[in-house]
Amino acid sequence: MTRIIFFTFSFVICLGYQSFGQDDLMAEFEDFGTNVWLGSYNKFRLADKWFWRAEFHYRRGGYGDTPFIGRMSQIYNRHAINYFVNKNLNISLGAVVRLDFTGDPQDDQLEYVVPEPRIWHEYLFVMPWPRFQMFHRIRIEHRWSRRNDIDSEWIYRDRWRYKFYMTIPINKPQLVPGAWFINPDIEIIMQSGSPVVNSPLEDLRIYPSVGYIVSPSITYTAGLMYTTGQRLARGHVYRQRWVARINAYVSLDFRKQERKVPSIRTTD
């Protein structure tokens, strides 16, 4: 695990050094944008080790004169097959279709919505502690995207994502139903590909949140995320956003009943 983190940081620094080395422009930070992301994260247990992941995001945001979350931004539809290797490693492989909505619906030069397919795979490393859980997530996405401009070209990029987060119970000693928890979360998203010239750092997300475990099947979290990252074509320009996020985590067990219910002790 330590090696992976070291590798990732080395990679990011090298890319950054390279990009800054090629251009003498000064870094610029855009004004904060505002967004709200509503996410539904679902995991359906198909077998003892196999899950089906189905995640949806409904994202809105402000644009120009459009107020805070007045504009439809994106809809995510992410699916994957998830394999539970052991209690420390979890692997997923799947596809995403993201729908990007136009920033100016009045502009007829822009398509109202453009799909962005992706293939993604994820490696989640779990570090259990007596009182909390610590996670290292590496997700790699292979994405095909185009702008909303009519007749714009498809570009291909790879995304390299590393995320570190924790779940720390507040009101109970364990993460059990009824437990409130805090969820420190930080993720760095790097990108590569031919269109990426001097903007390898696509996004840096700092996302503290608070969660509540309703039941083993349902958990909610809410938090405010700060993100910043380089614009693809103008690497010296950094976008900044505040994103209010509300997520629901749902897990269902689709196995047969007898496999779900443990045997009962009825006698001494």
Contact residues for another protein (CB under 8 A)?
41, 43, 45, 51, 82, 84, 87, 90, 126, 128, 133, 135, 167, 174-177, 213, 215-217, 219, 249, 251, 253, 257, 260-262, 264-266, 268
Question: CB-wise, 21 or 262, nearer to another protein?
Answer: 262
**In this structure, how many other beta carbons lie within 10 angstroms of the beta carbon of residue 238?**
18
**Minimum separation from the CB atom of position 125 to another protein (A):** 10
**In this structure, how many other beta carbons lie within 10 angstroms of the beta carbon of residue 64?**
8
Question: CB-wise, 117 or 216, nearer to another protein?
Answer: 216
Name beta bridge partners: 15: none
**Minimum separation from the CB atom of position 175 to another protein (A):** 5
Query: Any idea which residue has 């958990």 for tokens?
Result: 219
CA distances from 66 to 62, 72, 102, 159, 215 (A): 5, 10, 13, 29, 38
**Minimum separation from the CB atom of position 213 to another protein (A):** 7
Question: CB-wise, 32 or 220, nearer to another protein?
Answer: 220
Cα gap 107→66, rounded to integer Å: 14
**Minimum separation from the CB atom of position 137 to another protein (A):** 12
User: What single-letter DSSP state applies at residue 204?
Assistant: E
**Minimum separation from the CB atom of position 118 to another protein (A):** 22
Cα gap 149→165, rounded to integer Å: 37
Question: CB-wise, 82 or 191, nearer to another protein?
Answer: 82
Question: CB-wise, 3 or 256, nearer to another protein?
Answer: 256
User: By CB neighbour count within 10 A (0-12 exposed, 13-18 middle, 19+ buried), where does 236 fall?
Assistant: middle
